[in-house]
Structure 1
């Protein structure tokens, strides 16, 4: 049965009406709900969350700038927010294969200054924000994935529908079948994170990216470690550049000391890399073996793993933020500041700006129009000013590590000392990440070391500690436009890059009984990072929502 057939046989769906429907209980969506309730206490607001609980799908470094939180909830410390470990020091390291050179404090660019920030678990902060929202009367529905945008007869967004539950792999409803429901709102806010499934559709339908730069992404792969007490340096923040990346690939590592003898560390690689043999997961594993990194974690125990695509955050690539009946906030729009490696403060601020526009609209009795005051408020905000200061960061690194390093020094260190806060020039990007991949015949294979089970690990043991699970008997949420393309094009021309760029072992090429190649999709392993949806060179893979509640269940990440 197609979804349309199911709806025809089992519908109509139950509908619930609200003033505002919010898709995604991350920092952006929850900040939208909280700020709107502060301004309009009687507004009815519902937040849908595809994870099993708020925070379950949240993954970030994370060093958090509290600026936006100070504005949203000034008494956050008294309310017990889990921002407990202030940053105590910054190390910016340039790595060769065996050595590390520390940048003297006087020469560290401003984007790497973290004084006044906190080392946090963003999943824990998100859970706390959800509690604050519920305390104000916001309804939160965890385990419900928004699977479809709903439009009225004039083409305006009128809400979303959740996915059906209990549909088997064959597309037929089984004993546990439950049809989805419709959440209807005067306005619908999309806060799904980077490469949002519905946000992607809205960008296309309303042509929100016309005249903008092409958005680019990176993949961030993260681990959480418990380390011996004598290695703990609570509040120490380390960033690395250089090895193991080659000059034409953007990438760098982070390592942050939390309280309680824990360290969060990971590696970020731009998804515009060219070599189809590159594996972001394997690069992260060998990065940990560098003496400057292993010194922090050797003798410890890995207790968490996850991965997520990240916007590169250039304001030139921000889409139009509003459309009839709704708006984009947080990383669904692309507000991350890649130069600072921070997005949570930007997500919160964007949600607040959207909420203030929503409050004006509701007070005026408006519905399903464009929230024009939201984009103009962003233009006048400190968030826009901050993003403009680092608008060229990724663009310079697209020209090579050496150029990126020098120009970051000029724009983020020298110009501010001369009183110039934003660079007087702007770089532009017109090429999507998937277009960067070169044919395998033009590239050298990469020989990665085998995991030792102490510092480095394989994909499947990593996915295991991400607590990832999906209901097995459901249609695969990783779909192919054309089932022949993976073998005929991706394997033949690019040596099957999906089996390397996926950090969870979802894709593998296997032989049929007749000896032919076929792509096997292990959808159970998916950690919802969205890398395949971005990097697939033929754009044949489309990520759609699985049953609500499925996916990773991050704890302390």
Structure 2
């Protein structure tokens, strides 16, 4: 809905940037569990040119939350965020925690990570954007819920003032002002250089530059750097497949690493098999005619749920959509290089029924 509103009312500024978060919940032996412990990982197993990082959270009842965020501005069309997540679990400080443990849940979701530069114009006639639809996530500090709440408070204040003034059906011109003065603007402006620095210099040098920039902003209240541009949107960052060395991912062992089918099963999906496909192709021919020769058709790789497949029928390549597998992460809507796929809400609100996520 937000994508359509932003497009219809021409609200966009800089392109939004996204990350794909993939997460599992495990139940681990009590002797390995340290309630409240939080571990964050920078980079691994991604290469220097691919932004992202992992996390391991020790929750209650011997639960372990394990996940990896891969930023979707990666360039290699043969990269699989799902495959990279399987590699992440093989890290020497993660794998021992999961040995002999039980995987009980799986999920995935795209995250807005563009920050201050990517916030669209927030108000439109009859409404306004809030929360992650507006892109209020503080990606460098890994938090967003507080800004979603603050934006709701600011929106309520703006609407209340408009109603008290006897207004209706018009544009609330000071809507953004109400939201930004909740503290959202100050917070996101303070980390505005982080994503551009990471994209420009890679994980190693970019992280050093981000750290220095955040310290300067904290100490002096602002940074001398003003990196206002993200450049190309995520879908435009892919290189032709002929220009990369194809990546390969080992067969899962079923103990630590898994395939998409068994993972999607743990998302507790509920889709009617005969419901209308909620993943719409503007041109059904593009995946095979354009994406396959140029990019190797990356949809089966960037999708973490096994929704897309390139198969052979009668000696010809065909593009299949297994919509019942969808976990509604929206990665395809974001990363498809032709912008040919649009995710729409499925019939009856069906989808994953996450447990404890």
Fold agreement, TM-score > 0.5: yes
Normalising by structure 1, what TM-score? Answer: 0.62
In the alignment, what sits opposite 2:338?
A: 538
In the alignment, what sits opposite 1:343?
A: 144
Distance in structure 2 (CA, Å) of the matches to 1:320 and 1:335: 13
Residue 103 of structure 2: which of 302, 313, 317 is its match?
Answer: 302
Q: CA deviation at 1:227?
A: 0.8
Contact 2:130 2:151 in 1 (8 A): yes
Structure 2 counterparts to residues 398-477 of structure 1, below 5 A:
398-399=199-200, 400-413=202-215, 415-416=217-218, 419-427=219-227, 428-477=229-278
Q: CA deviation at 1:421?
A: 2.9
In the alignment, what sits opposite 2:20?
A: 219
In the alignment, what sits opposite 1:501?
A: 302
Tell me the C-alpha RMSD between the 2 structures. 1.3
In the alignment, what sits opposite 2:176?
A: 375
Distance in structure 2 (CA, Å) of the matches to 1:276 and 1:490: 10
Contact 2:44 2:54 in 1 (8 A): no
Contact 1:229 1:261 in 2 (8 A): yes
Q: CA deviation at 1:415?
A: 4.9
Structure 2 counterparts to residues 193-208 of structure 1, below 5 A:
198-208=1-11
Distance in structure 2 (CA, Å) of the matches to 1:322 and 1:550: 30
Normalising by structure 2, what TM-score? Answer: 0.96
Give yes or no for the alignment of 1:520 onto 2:320.
Answer: yes
Q: CA deviation at 1:471?
A: 1.6
Give yes or no for the alignment of 1:550 onto 2:350.
Answer: yes
Contact 1:390 1:422 in 2 (8 A): no
In the alignment, what sits opposite 2:281?
A: 480
Answer with 1 or 2: which has the greater Rg: 1
Distance in structure 2 (CA, Å) of the matches to 1:322 and 1:377: 11
Distance in structure 1 (CA, Å) of the matches to 2:217 and 2:350: 47
Distance in structure 2 (CA, Å) of the matches to 1:262 and 1:422: 40
Q: CA deviation at 1:407?
A: 1.0
Give yes or no for the alignment of 1:317 onto 2:138.
Answer: no
Give yes or no for the alignment of 1:274 onto 2:101.
Answer: no
Give yes or no for the alignment of 1:250 onto 2:51.
Answer: yes
Contact 2:119 2:136 in 1 (8 A): yes
Query: Greater shift after overlay, 311-320 or 523-532?
Result: 311-320
Per-residue CA distance 1:393-425 (angstroms, 9 max, x = gap): 111110211221111220223553xx2133222
Distance in structure 2 (CA, Å) of the matches to 1:283 and 1:459: 13
Q: CA deviation at 1:459?
A: 0.3
In the alignment, what sits opposite 2:290?
A: 489
Residue 238 of structure 1: which of 39, 48, 51 is its match?
Answer: 39
Distance in structure 2 (CA, Å) of the matches to 1:510 and 1:357: 52
Give yes or no for the alignment of 1:288 onto 2:83.
Answer: no
CA 1:374–1:415 in structure 2 vs 1: closer, same or farther (change >3 Å)? closer
Question: 3-state SS of the aligned residue for 2:70?
Answer: strand
Structure 2 counterparts to residues 58-69 of structure 1, below 5 A:
none
Query: Structure 1: any 5+ residue segments left out of the alignment?
Result: 1-197
Per-residue CA distance 1:163-204 (angstroms, 9 max, x = gap): xxxxxxxxxxxxxxxxxxxxxxxxxxxxxxxxxxx1111111
Distance in structure 2 (CA, Å) of the matches to 1:201 and 1:450: 39
Distance in structure 2 (CA, Å) of the matches to 1:240 and 1:470: 35
Structure 2 counterparts to residues 55-204 of structure 1, below 5 A:
198-204=1-7
Q: CA deviation at 1:313?
A: 3.8
Per-residue CA distance 1:86-119 (angstroms, 9 max, x = gap): xxxxxxxxxxxxxxxxxxxxxxxxxxxxxxxxxx
In the alignment, what sits opposite 1:181?
A: none
Q: CA deviation at 1:430?
A: 2.8
Query: Structure 2: any 5+ residue segments left out of the alignment?
Result: none
Residue 259 of structure 1: which of 29, 44, 60 is its match?
Answer: 60
Aligned length: 355
In the alignment, what sits opposite 1:110?
A: none
Question: 3-state SS of the aligned residue for 1:263?
Answer: strand
Question: 3-state SS of the aligned residue for 1:308?
Answer: strand
Contact 1:286 1:449 in 2 (8 A): no
Question: 3-state SS of the aligned residue for 1:398?
Answer: helix
More strand per residue: 1 or 2? Answer: 1
